[in-house]
Amino acid sequence: MKSNHVTLKDIARILELSPSTVSRALKDHPDINEETKKLVKTFAEKVNYRPNALALSLRQQKTNTIGLIIPEIVHHFFSSVISGIEDIAYGEGYNVMICQSNENYQREVIDTQALIDHRVDGILVSVSKTTRDFKHLQNAYDNGIPMVFFDRIVEEIKTDRVITDDFLGAQIATSHLIEKGCKNILHLAAPQHLVIGSRRKEGYLKALEEHGIETDEDLIVKCDTREYVFSLQQHLMKLIEEKHIDGIFAVNDSTAIATMQALQAEGIKIPEQIKVIGFGDGPNADIAYPPLSTVEQKGYETGREAMRLLLQRLENPGIEINFSTKVLTPTLKQRKST
């Protein structure tokens, strides 16, 4: 990692003066002539020399700032990740600057460049849904800035990673419905080009297979937002009736909650007639009526692990450490909807 912070010794060397002359010039010492003082002070101001506030980080040639690029702050999982990162970072004397890409590739590029320009010590990233080209991240990496990817990773860039075992989480959720007696389970899925979308679908299919339940492609419906549920409401109701649906596994909590509301509007009782489970375990799961069973995705732990992996690099500059991928296991959180 390169740093361009200027030390008192640098100023002395460049101006061909002794460090003590520079130091005394900055303090307006009477032994130093006015011309030298003016030169040193102008130069120190120009190169942003900060003798006091940043003394420590200057010595270490660090800014003690971590950059974080996150798709959507409003999403509970990501805000938990932020808390986990911050709790470790501030505890170790780093502050965290957060940039929200808002699922927008262009903003992610601008944010990455800004973090490089601000000379952050390291970058933590979860890429946006619209990012298909990774040059901007490769560029940060090539600049020698340590990086850790979490949740939405970039396969092409070899670095430390923290991910959730989405396959296992979906398998747990679906198995729970089966153990509760469900036989015809609908899966409301995310787009399959997203890794979380395909992994969660595969986990659902695996659980069915393990329990000897035949799969029916009609029971996998692309529907991963609250708005999507209400726009598909008629189609879903028809499907539920025709296929005798008795369990629903939704790819995230907000889709699961909207589905419960749509079912209740039609007079369907939950969990008596249909059991519903989500994925995530944000605070909405508790607020929902009935409270939602789900699998807990460990946002806070994800943030802590990502920051720990980054710290390991920051505190061992120049030492080769093999990249590692930390996989977090989600757990069942049973409430009243199943």
Residues forming contacts to a second copy in the complex (CB under 8 A) are: 4, 6, 10, 14, 42-43, 45-48, 50, 53-54, 63-65, 73-74, 76, 79-80, 82-83, 86, 90, 95-100, 102, 107, 110-111, 113-114, 117-119, 257, 261, 283-284, 287-289
Closest distance between a second copy and the C-beta of residue 321, in Å?
27
185, 209 in Cβ contact below 8 A?
no
CA distances from 194 to 96, 130, 268, 278 (A): 28, 10, 32, 18
Q: Which is nearer to a second copy, 183 or 336 (CB)?
A: 336
CA-CA distance, 173 to 248, in Å (whole number)?
A: 10
Q: Which is nearer to a second copy, 106 or 325 (CB)?
A: 106
Q: Which residues pair with 163 in a beta bridge?
A: 327
Encode the chain in three state secondary structure.
CCCCCCCHHHHHHHHCCCHHHHHHHHCCCCCCCHHHHHHHHHHHHHCCCCCCCCHHHHHCCCCCEEEEEECCCCCHHHHHHHHHHHHHHHHCCCEEEEEECCCCHHHHHHHHHHHHHCCCCEEEECCCCCCCCCHHHHHHHHCCCCEEEECCCCCCCCCEEEEECHHHHHHHHHHHHHHCCCCCEEEEECCCCCHHHHHHHHHHHHHHHHCCCCCCHHHEEECCCHHHHHHCHHHHHHHHHHCCCCEEEECCHHHHHHHHHHHHHCCCCCCCCCEEECCECCCHHHHCCCCCEEEECCHHHHHHHHHHHHHHHHCCCCCCCCCCEEEECCEEECCCCC
